[in-house]
Amino acid sequence: MAIAEQVARTAAFAVRVFSAAIIPTVPYAIPVSKLRRPFLSDRYFFIVVRLLRRREKFTKPDFALLARAFNRARALHPFHLTAWVFLPDHWYCICAPGYPVTISLAIKPVKQSSTSAVNEFRGADGELWQTRFFDRALRSVSDYNEKVEYIHLNPVRAGLVSRPEDWRSSSSNEYAGMSADEQNQHFGSIVDRWRMPSDPRARI
């Protein structure tokens, strides 16, 4: 479903309850997908971006800089951000760029802005992220919900916390009921709130 059609359905935020589905971890070597041009906008994408192995892992101050990079990128090339988590050596998100913004055009300034900010903060230089990123277009409500669950459970699976809501560098707390204002005060980045169709088989 095109973003323009979805906008009228966003009056309320649907909090979803998930089952414990296991989704394979995305390996380092996966290349960016070769989706045809008509399919690079107006849909939801599951995104994985990984830190270069030679770079120091992220900590809380770096996560804050990455959140600001997302905000700058969304102002430059508007796209909807509906779920995310930042981890020490990679991050996941679900985003939906509206035509003519493509998924590459949405993600590129996030990587560039965060690289500049983190390098300045650390007194370092050079590339920060792997050149390519993994993206997958989500086609159904069920597919979308599984990826949101996977994103939010990642810190638990990595042994960083015992509950998704204990990892603050994530949209998990908003899905659990935290207000956008509170999330923005705590972390500086919030999700765009959408109402999904109730039928898990529905196309999106």
Residue 41 backbone dihedrals phi, psi, to 5 degrees? -140, 170
CA nearest to 81, candidates 194, 195, 201 = 194
**Which CATH code fits 3-12+35-187?**
3.30.70.1290
| pLDDT tens sequence for the chain (204 residues) | 433 333 223 223 333 333 333 233 333 333 444 444 446 788 999 999 999 999 999 999 999 999 999 999 999 999 999 999 999 999 999 999 999 999 999 999 999 999 999 999 999 999 999 999 999 999 999 999 999 999 999 999 999 999 999 999 999 988 888 887 888 777 777 788 778 888 888 898
Give the start-to-end residue ranges of the domains of the chain.
3-12+35-187
What does the alpha-carbon distance between residue 171 and residue 149 come to, in Å, rounded to a whole number? 11
Element holding 47 (H helix, E strand): strand 45-50
CA 103 from centroid of its chain's CA atoms: 12
Cα distances (Å, whole numbers) of residue 135 to 20, 33, 101, 168: 22, 6, 15, 24
Cα distances (Å, whole numbers) of residue 185 to 25, 28, 64, 86, 87: 31, 33, 12, 17, 20
